[in-house]
Amino acid sequence: MITIVWFKRDLRISDHAALAAAAQRGPVLPLYIIEPDYWQQPDTSLRHWQFIRGALLELDRQLQQLGQALLVQRGPASKVLLQLCRQYQASAVFSHEETGNLWSYQRDLAVQQALAQHGVLWQQFRQFAVFRPLKDRDLWFSQADAWLKTPLIQTPAKLPPVTSPQPNLALLLAQLSPERRIDLPPCQQTQQATELHSTLHSFFLTRSGNYQKHISYAARASQSCSRLSPFLSYGMVSMRALQQQCWREMQQQQSQGHKAALAAFFSRLRWHCHFIQKLEDEPLIEMANMHPGFDGMREQDFAREKFAAFCAGQTGYPLIDAAIRCLLSTGWLHFRGRAMLVAFAAYHLWLHWRPTALFLAQCFVDYEPGIHYPQIQMQSGTTSINPNRIYNPLKQSQLKDPNGHFIRRWCPELAQLPDSWLHSPWLLPVNLQQRYGVYPDIDYPMPVVQLEQAMRQARAKLSAWSAGQDKLQWRLVQQQVIQRHASRKRPVKQQAGPQQLLIFDAESKATDHI
């Protein structure tokens, strides 16, 4: 009985439940589908494909070692799967559950209907500590603990080949590459899919020692963060395997400081699944405010010229612009930088979060929908269960890039300024403009908004909006949001064991960059 294993955002062979279960049934046909409609969605970009292409080549290399090749097809998933089921007389399709964007959710519904109509079994397996359906959010931590402690799935020793030889995969991927009508430029310095093992090794060996101290510092974060997020986003590494490895590294670490840094990383790994569970429970979070009481608060005031300046890294605030330019070039940014960008767009520029979310989704090589949209809403203040985080970009610049290393790298037009003027170049006196050769509004834009005024206006708008709401109705809906999505402070009784997981109750510790 041939089983099709449909790879999606799970591009690996280790700890792969669908692949292992299919191998126990008989011959396996490994499949990846390039879906043209997906690549026309507003939250996708070809910089995602840059990374996926390398991940597919790496997956094929791993499968070849098991005696099988990866089959790559192009077209709507339901049609491709039915055609292959007929061609190979496959009786089942196995895959992991995917918590993707709303398009992928609707695609899966179409696939389920099509396969069921033709009598083909589609079995989906859990990939994260995300439960479908989750009956009670109060039980999530204990369920997550239990699942993340379970032993890893053993990789099949051999896969009998069921396909005829296909052309060189690299050449085939070039021929089948998706197209987009409008897109961002490709990343110039993005991580490569082949760097998974070296990234893992260097992080646990040395780089993680400064994780807790440096993750919020723009110039240091790129080396002290794990940089594993793209490998997690496309499933090249198992979240369960990574958590268990991190726990082992913590137990073996002799340095207490290094152990504490690994514990901080370990806690953020847990929040990965917590946020994905939110989108799993409510797919419309991608489109609509988590609390509908915020509907209409920002929609009417959308300023396209401010949004354009934001997307181009031309806001006049050096740390904001440096962060955007870094993101445009590399496809990666540390978490505080991401949170700061969203807050600046939502509060200082008073932009609705949806266009910002789509732009940033296209930029992030490690874009993970289940983390992206709940985090965007949290940082934009539309959940009703999180405090408003109105970052001061000038203060953040002075605190998190005090020597200006990050700003000078990504805003080279300001490189000649001393630290005392680098963070606020719009205040540079005329005589110093001549001395340093930097002329505000010529070499570098003046601020798109006046900082203190914009912050005052944001607070006033928030207060006015809150005052105009029906308090009883607001709190009723807020309680529904809390019941459905909020983290639980009630601790789960910990059990001793080599893979014991810790429980954290501060949702502000969450991150989508790890």
Average pLDDT in the 174-184 region? 92
pLDDT > 70: percent of the chain: 94
Residue 108 in this model has a pLDDT that exceeds 50: yes
Average pLDDT in the 111-118 region? 97
**What distance in Å separates the CA atoms of residue 180 and residue 39, rounded to the nearest whole number?**
6
Query: What sign results for the dihedral spanned by CA atoms 153, 156, 161, 165?
Result: positive
Residue 161 has a pLDDT of 79
For the chain, the structural domain boundaries read 3-127, 133-152+195-281, 292-469
Selected from 1.25.40, 1.10.10, 1.10.30, 1.10.238, the CATH number assigned to the domain covering 133-152+195-281 reads 1.25.40
Each residue's pLDDT tens digit, 252-305: 999 999 999 999 999 999 899 999 999 999 999 999 999 999 999 998 778 999
Phi, psi at residue 144, to the nearest 5°?
-65, -45
Residue 500 in this model has a pLDDT that exceeds 90: no
Among 271, 463, 473, CA closest to 381? 463
299 contacts: CB under 8 Å, gap ≥ 6:
352
> What's the pLDDT band for 513 if we cut at 50, 70, 90?
very low
Cα R_g (the chain), whole angstroms: 24
Q: Are 76 and 37 in contact (CB under 8 A)?
A: yes
Q: Which CATH fold would you assign to the domain 3-127?
A: Rossmann fold (3.40.50)
Phi, psi at residue 402, to the nearest 5°?
-60, -35
**What distance in Å separates the CA atoms of residue 12 and residue 119, rounded to the nearest whole number?**
28
Token pair belonging to 474: 């607001």
Cis, peptide link before residue 165, omega less than 30° from 0:
no
Residue 493 in this model has a pLDDT that exceeds 70: no
Selected from 1.10.579.10, 1.10.3720.10, 3.30.360.10, 3.90.1150.10, the CATH number assigned to the domain covering 292-469 reads 1.10.579.10
Residue 499 has a pLDDT of 35
